[in-house]
Structure 1
């Protein structure tokens, strides 16, 4: 009987350690930058499960993109439930630098970086009307409708677009 208790305890401990490792692995995977291929465009919207969100398209060498990140940081302080997905137009080879930048601005969840398909194809998958100007921000409503905005967004425009999307009142 004593031996079976030890075996049971050992099995329980092993299961607990495995569960913790799995949970940590899942959390880390969620914070890793995923590679965006054109087939992923619909997956991004679907990943938000019908809830309004903001898609921020940016690049490491875009000075103006950093201003949008500053604004998003302030918005998230006021609206902690603000759902943000980021898409870096840099190549997948730049993933480590993209990850570092996203860690600095605290946007590591739901992060993507352009994959190996031609840039034009990837941009077209995001939005056929988008010519590549940045920053580019999309405001998605729960019903899937979206508005795209190019350039740095003023504080008043952020509020207006978030209201349109049903994100903030």
Structure 2
């Protein structure tokens, strides 16, 4: 069965975008470009292990609070897997990389591509209306919970336990 032309085109665009984003950078500093077809790839990149997906934007003041908390959580849980997805467009890649370096979250980083924001948000979660910060807790079996807004310490603990990340 031949893949659809649309899927082939999406894969080609993603490959080109990732190659361009990775040119001249070290592996730990790559930021992949997120297309609507990338949602499954993002989850699969964690190889069936529980992780946290943090959706954020450069202009989101509250998102920076999440990064501060994640820094503290990673000190308590060194194996905490964090994936970031910036909703800024690829033109903001230098600023996205700079902020991610500052908060030490340069691995498993993504930035929205040039498709319409609504399509990209829908690919992440059909029920998500764009409020931020948005955090998803993924279990090893692929189940997930999405939370909008700043998360309290007690709620972080509760969601991490649910995902199987913390005991």
TM-score (norm 2): 0.85
Change (3 A) 1:104 1:97: same
Q: 1:84 aligns with which of 78, 82, 101?
A: 82
C-alpha distance in 1 between matches for 2:132 and 2:54: 10
Specify every segment of 5 or more residues in structure 1 that has no aligned partner in the other structure, as ranges. 1-24
State the Cα distance separating 1:26 from its structure 2 match. Answer: 10
Specify every segment of 5 or more residues in structure 2 that has no aligned partner in the other structure, as ranges. 1-22
State the Cα distance separating 1:30 from its structure 2 match. Answer: 4.0
Which is helix-richer, 1 or 2? 1
Runs of 4+ in 1 over 6 A off after TM superposition: none
2:50 aligned with 1:52, yes or no?
Answer: yes
Structure with bigger gyration radius? 1
TM-score (norm 1): 0.84
2:134 aligned with 1:136, yes or no?
Answer: yes
C-alpha distance in 2 between matches for 1:79 and 1:110: 17
State the Cα distance separating 1:31 from its structure 2 match. Answer: 2.0
Count of residue correspondences: 145
Change (3 A) 1:140 1:27: farther
Aligned match of 1:112? 110
For the aligned residue pairs, the C-alpha RMSD in angstroms reads: 1.4
Q: Deviations over 1:31-57 (max 9, x none)?
A: 211110011100011010000000000
